Amino acid sequence: GVYQDIFDAGFTKHNIISGFTKSGIWPVDRTPVIAYMQQKKMKARQAINPAFASLLPDDARFQRASDVTKHMSEKYSHLLSSPTRGELRQVRKVVTEALLLHETVQAYIDDRISRLEKAYHQKRKGKRVKPLGDFSQSVSLAEIRQQQEDYIAEREEKEIKSQIRNTRKFVIQEMDKIKAQWRSDKQGLQFKQWLRHTGKDVEYWSMDENRARMAKSLSQKEDFFMIDTELTPEVRESVRNANYAPKPLYAVDWGARSDDDVEITVNAAHNSEEEEGDDDEEELRFLPMPQIDENGMLPP
């Protein structure tokens, strides 16, 4: 009726567009949206000073130091004294050790970065959220967060175990290299004697101890069950109340019975006189003791 006429007269295209124009959402202008997105993008960028790269250590510093010591040993060996040449050889050993350690660490870092990139680019499968409440449709936000936290913790635990396995594999390879050196040496020494002779015993046994520790950490399993054999105070109180609770027969209110009820008499006491009479009638028979002869033997 009248309400429909007012509705048709008010909600026309002209009135609707006029309201949108006054509120500022018509005509559509993408400039504020683009400006807002550009502002967020500029905030996300962090200004990095190019001079910071010059403060980082050079990756080829160990290689250059090794080349310099080698050049000095080869070109100026005849000009140096014997103690100086010995110290220079010691410097070359230290630089070579640092170069090998740097290459090992860099290989480990490159391997980790490659594995992280592989895990980042691999296809992730969705995981269905299961209800945890009493009803099949009771999935709350807290339950979803709890399941997500459990899933992240599980992924982190798997990643940690994977890193431990890779480190353990690398340690085993280094131990195998030392054993290969012992087999190729052919000095007729046992492995432990050869380690002490070459000075590699501390290095080998430390690697073996780390390998055993990592193997133990990988073999550990969580305890999913806990058995408690001690009774709780609540259970003890319930047992005590049950022992001292009134019996059903004595708990009956006999005073509230009607005239038609049947009277029941319960005699819980025993007849002590009859029991004493039974004890008096029972006589005990004495057994004669056997005679022992002079030799301490029993008669036949």
Q: How far is CA 224 from CA 108, 120, 227, in A?
A: 35, 32, 10
| 49-63, 99-113, 286-300: segment of lowest average pLDDT | 286-300
Q: Which amino acid is it at 214?
A: M
Place 205 in a pLDDT band, splitting at 50, 70 and 90. Answer: confident
Supply the pLDDT for residue 39: 81
What's the maximum distance between 2 C-alpha atoms anywhere in the chain? 144
Q: In the prediction, which pLDDT does 219 show?
A: 82
Higher pLDDT, 226 or 164: 164
Residue 291: which residues within 8 A CB-CB, separation 6 or more?
299
Per-residue pLDDT reduced to its tens digit, 71-95: 888 888 888 888 888 888 888 888 8
Residue 134 scores a pLDDT above 60: no
211-224 average pLDDT score = 78
- Chain centroid, CA 193 distance in Å: 41
Asked whether residue 70 carries a pLDDT value surpassing 80, the answer given is yes
- Asked if the model's pLDDT at residue 21 lies above 70, the reply is yes
Higher pLDDT pick, 193 / 141 = 193
- SS3 of 51-101: the string is CHHHHCCCCCHHHHHHHHHHHHHHHCHHHCCHHHHHHHHHHHHHHHHHHHH
Averaged pLDDT score across all residues of the chain = 75
Is residue 92 within 8 A of residue 66, CB to CB? The reply is yes
Q: What are phi and psi of 281, to 5 degrees?
A: -70, -25
Please report, rounded to a whole number, the percentage of residues in the chain having pLDDT higher than 70.
Answer: 69
Q: Count of alpha carbons within 13 Å of 235, Cβ hemisphere only?
A: 5
Say if residue 237's pLDDT is above 70: yes
Contact 95, 69 (CB under 8 A): yes
In sequence order, what are the residues at sequence separation of 6 or more whose Cβ sits closer than 8 angstroms to the Cβ of residue 189?
197
Phi/psi-derived region of residue 27, left when phi > 0, alpha when psi is between -120 and 50, beta in every other case: beta
pLDDT: which is higher, 205 or 10: 205
Looking at the predicted structure, is the pLDDT value of residue 297 above 60? no
* Section 289-294 average pLDDT: 58
pLDDT for residue 152 is more than 50: yes
| 55 SS3 class | helix
| pTM value > 0.85 | no
pLDDT of residue 135: 45
| Residue in this structure with the two tokens 């960028």, named with its chain if needed | 45
Of 125 and 273, the structure prediction assigns the larger pLDDT to 125
Give yes or no for residue 210 having a pLDDT over 70.
yes
Phi, psi for residue 76 in degrees, rounded to 5: -115, 20
For residue 68, is pLDDT > 80? yes
Question: What confidence score (pLDDT) does residue 25 get?
Answer: 77
- Predicted confidence at residue 280, as pLDDT, reads 47
Look at residue 273 in the predicted model and tell me its pLDDT.
46
Contacts of 106 (CB under 8 A, 6+ apart): 59
Q: Are 137 and 131 in contact (CB under 8 A)?
A: yes
- b/e per residue, 104-137, with b = 16+ CB within 10 A? eeeeeeeeeeeeeeeeeeeeeeeeeeeeeeeeee
Q: What 3-state DSSP class applies to 190?
A: coil
